[in-house]
Structure 1
């Protein structure tokens, strides 16, 4: 018997849906792994750039203090200044690529602090660069300015970025969770698909059992059903009555 075309298409769809869902789960699973790696790598780069900037700030302050006390030369101080000045754009560029940081409303705190630092460092370029003798009074003022920037940047790093309860940490977690919703959706669809298959299999089994237990023409219980029922009743050791009806014979017919 040829099955209807709609039924055939339905079976083909079910056959293809399972492997398709598995492929989607694998692809989305690899996506969340890549997202996690990217978030962790970007976070590490952001932290490292700020830590390096903080280190150069501290080193420059040491050099300024040494020059004030005649413990180093102007060339050595100028070299330290150039390293600090070159470190600031690197930190700004790294932070600008941090997607989690960009999604935070007050994410400009750290970038504003670094921008202000860049302005103050650039302002002292004419005082330090290319000078054989540098004003110690100006350096003393600049050292205090650098210390204020260092404390502000370090405090922002500790409380607003590195803390596990910070908005930045919550944003990175949110980014990962959003990526996880995609494979979770396909996993749920796959379980629904399995549930549908099991339900369809159970229904088909019930239909087949009903066809075995009933005669297709008379719709009465079949011989197999009667024999199974008798076996079940005989195992209970309880009395039962079997009523058999014989087809009436016509006149002239031999009864069996």
Structure 2
């Protein structure tokens, strides 16, 4: 038996069509899991599934819509027990409190907070049947102040405290709940942000943003996926109610 095996496990990964979520989905499948990918972009989810073949299914899902989430997760759980839920889907926002409009705040709440709540609430009945794992994607912004990330940090702070609450409330049901707090990770979102805001100066701004991590580079999606794999595996069975920074030293070494 190899370590960190997910053989015969059933996992749900939200936002699994691209970036970190895609890396998690592929890694889980490589370790033997059946993966259900919930993504607003069904085409992207289908692309991920095509790389996994018969070990995955794609579902078009708006995590902010409770009815949509509940119907999909109930359909999954009616066929097979859910063992792992990874709440990866999320959106970003740049701006201080004066620059955040009410619509921005509402959208961040709907996706980053309510979306996590919706998926956990729908998955709990199946997870309670024999136990399981919930892994939430928080952020370094959950615990430290970041420039011009008011609304985003607010939403990710809620993800952190939801993690603690779920871990406490469901420990006797055999459900472990942890979160990770990534720093800057090289994803298509980062490339798009740089292209949009620094046209013609992409290379130097990529290097500038990379150096904001004390380790001198951005993280990779695979590095994030590998930590998620560990925390969702049986080898992490003694870990719950914890937040794991994966940030190139940002939180502890930038002071």
TM-score by length of 1: 0.25
Q: Does 1 or 2 have the higher relative contact order (CA < 8 Å, sep 6+)?
A: 1
> Comparing both structures, which one devotes a greater share of its residues to helix?
1
Which protein has the larger Cα radius of gyration, Structure 1 or Structure 2?
1
